[in-house]
Chain A
Amino acid sequence: MISGRLRFDTSHATEFVDLTQRVSDEIEKAGLRTGRIHLQSLHTTLGLAINENEPLLLRDFEHLLERLAPGDAGYEHDDFTRRFEVAVDEPVNGHAHCRQLLLTGFLTLLVEEGRLVMGRWQSVFAVELDGPRHRQLAMQLDGEFSPPHRVGRSAAQSAAGWGDETTQLVEMEITRQLMTDPDPVAVPMRRLMEAGGKRLRPKLVQLTSRIGPRQEPVRAASLAAAVELLHNATLIHDDYVDESTHRRGRPTVAAAEGAERAIAVGDYYFAKATRLIAELGNASVATTMAEALEAICASQIDDVAQRGAFPGDHDSYLRVVRGKTAALFAAACVSGALLSDAPADVVEALRRYGELLGIAFQMADDMVDFSPDSGKPIGLDIRQRALSLPLIYAAEDRSVGKEVRDLLAGSLGDREVDRVADLVTASDALRRVGDEARGLVEEAVREIEAVELDGLRPTLVGLARSAVDRTA
């Protein structure tokens, strides 16, 4: 069984939209050889019909609907003074609901030898009765499928399984890409990527690539792998800039191989990721990712520039984090959705979701620096004078703020770092950051409430909440 949505826009109040070719395309894409395709209207003023696509006949149908349920007949449904919970934009459309009652809301069509079984003059119509609007039909295909298409699964199925098969697909793609690269660049990158990482960005790509009507798991895996390579390429340069000696419990590329090698490895995978994205042949995806990369690089410059005013303030923190972390989260969401031809309103909602999630993720990451359960030495951000919201809040704190500021203004040895960490933990800073991060996640969740996500909302909500409720 494969399921999905068929989306389209109507342009008239009453309109017969011929979906025959779209339905045939879905059958071909799914590889259904013999079976059925079920269509169900998800609207109370959109009907379905099988009839002849002859323009004058379609006008006859319109006239028939008008005679049976005239627009000006007066409908109790349109008397808003007598109804409860009437939306501010509630249309006057009693006639459209009554007309829908004359049609059907669902169709089952037979498929044989990979083709829709239709009579010579038959076409499949969605009948708009209250347009123009954005519409969608739920669609399920069942029967015998061609072997190559069996991997194509519904969005809901994929949402349930993104943690296993789809993740494996990305891991396989990353491994495959690294195998083709020269050892001097592949070995350090492999070491970094094998050391772990949450793979949140590729997960976002994969999830959002299941939302639109065009679902291509292999291309989505390629994009997801490119995004992860790009992310790791930026980390390699970051570690050199921050003089970090360890990442994910292992020596950084700069520490292990030298700065020159680190720069070369970062550049190689920056270019490779860019190439993999270009090879997808989707201009919007390429532009989205390039803009994100530009934002990351610009904010890195701002980040370093602000270290003179360490620990900085909330506004400057947000400005940097929007570019440094959130831009790639947003781009991951947007590019996956674009790859699947998701509607523009969905893409925009996912962009906002990704940006808010990215900011919240960075805040949670800042808190991990003070967690004894993180597996990392406490106070690394303090030692590196890295941008950190808990430090900003602790420096503003009435009781410990002065001491924190004094300590940060001087040289930071082990004793000073430990003391600052103690002060941050003792203050209200971590609670404030946690509250703020969770608030942003809830805001992100609200951003995707109003759009159709083909069953993926619970997964995106769960992923967002788990991204901030962590200690490592």
Chain B
Amino acid sequence: MREIYLDNSATTRPTEPVIQAVTACMETEWYNPSALYRPSMLVQKKMEEVRRLLLKAAGADGENCTFTSSGTEADNLALLGALRARRGGGRVLIFQSEHPAILSCIPEIERMGYTVETIAPDAVGAVDLDRLETQMRGDVAMIVVMQVNNETGTIQPLSEIARLRDRLCPEAHFHVDGVQGFLRVPFSLHALRADSYALSGHKIHALKGTGALIWRRNRKLTPQMLGGGQENGMRSGTENTCGILALGEAVRSYPQDAAETMMGLKKRLYEGIRARIPKSMLNGPEMDDTRCAPHILNLSLPPVRSQTMLFALEGDGIYVSAGSACASHKQKVSPVLLAMGRTSQEADCALRMSLCPFLSSDMMDETAQRMAAHYQLLSQYTRR
């Protein structure tokens, strides 16, 4: 039985070039980059190459890039670091269905004296721009929005938000959580005039335990990790060199045409399911919508509960997620889907399939076939 892994928003399989880069690093480039002798210097040079590579990939040449242990840490550094470095209070606007890496910072932000307001989603899970406009005034200290919604695959209207920011509260720090978007959806820090951008290695076939925060030189951040002063004092702790070099390799070897490939796969999967299961409901933007991310497909297949379908597919070696994997052990119905107008029963039937460029069309066909076969049986046996 071959494995079809469709949970790439949870984590990804390290690619062969990444594994080789890690192995090489462990064998010959394991020196502490801060030491004074030559091998350390070479490691440091390689690390700096990765830094430049990330900046380039995020459209942020010449800005800062701080390596972190995860996307979560990068988000924490951006939010807490920027707000701590700033004087006076003000309001912080945070999109309602951000990742817990953002939402869990709220109590801390409030303790610092800021008022936190949430930004409401619209019917496809994107920021409701009209309502956001009414929230934006001169006292906004920070705006936080994710690049791609991890559950529904909705691309957020970042340039519209940036324009509103420029017009209504030009001083506000604009942070974008790019964990679910980096490389898969185009992004340019400069073009957007965003102030910081968080990314994670293991979502793009690099290793867990690696991430980075890209941030503007003219912004100030207070470090959240104190110690030996690595990363220009912004993130102490000996750098995870193997992870960083692997991250570089993942960026370098990421297919140029990944977005088109994945969009093709996503359409094929969606149409395959739709044709076989007419009752399926798309949670998120339509395929031809510009806000539709190429790698995340969220569907409800009522009346079959998502976890039942998930376990059934697992038996075929097909791995999908029920809602968002990060929160799925809590077994709560997704607030994003409820906000999008789904009933709690429909939301309880939501499956998320997240793709990577290394999948094939026949894997999409097989998934749709297997899903339809399970649906036919399982839909007869559900709680009445």
Determine if chain A interacts with chain B: no
Interface residues of B (CB under 8 A from A): none
